Amino acid sequence: TMTYDHLTLEFEPRLAVVRLHRPAVRNALSQALMQELTQCAQALAERTDIDVVILTGDSTCFTAGADLKDARSWADASLPLVKRRHLAGLGYRMCKAWEELPQVSIVAIEGYAVGGGLALSLACDWRVLADDAWVSLPEIALGIPLTWGTIPRLVNLLGPARAKRLTILCERIAAPEALAMGLVDHTAPKGLALQAARDLAARTL
């Protein structure tokens, strides 16, 4: 059985819809949520009855990114080194698990996807963004390393110049520009990103 504390799953014929569910903290990626997302992707990868996986948040946002309350414990010198190394690798392993899904993976974003949220979406095959939504990678402006394999994925997707612009300037990229630069694949009217992702899924089934 696939039951999680911070994710909800819906199954339809050939399709799974995975929703981030930490509404009180804008779906921030805590260590617990990242572990669940990794386990969920690994479990879905074994399912031969699922052809497409849609990953989404709620009507407010996809996710505000890594939970900075949790991030303090990554640097907790009282933890054994092996434990700290394990925590430091959580986001990388999560993105890798989604990248390696044999199914087609589609991310549906309302509101915004920030930092680790955009990083996670880049590990998936397609991104659908509500037309009033935006994305950003604020890490460098915040003095946080941009990790999780994000920069190679960005360079592969957009080329070096645009990848540098996104990572160094830390701008908010609105939906029309995100679409024009190839950062997202489709835009949809506000509130309809998930429906657009379902329509896209139906075309692959």
Phi, psi of 156 (to 5 degrees): -60, -40
* DSSP 8-state secondary structure symbol assigned to residue 52: E
**Digit-coded pLDDT (tens) for 14-63:** 999 999 999 999 999 999 999 999 999 999 999 999 999 999 999 999 99
Query: The whole model's pTM is what?
Result: 0.95
pLDDT at 73 over 70: no
The answer to whether 4 touches 40, Cβ cutoff 8 Å, is yes
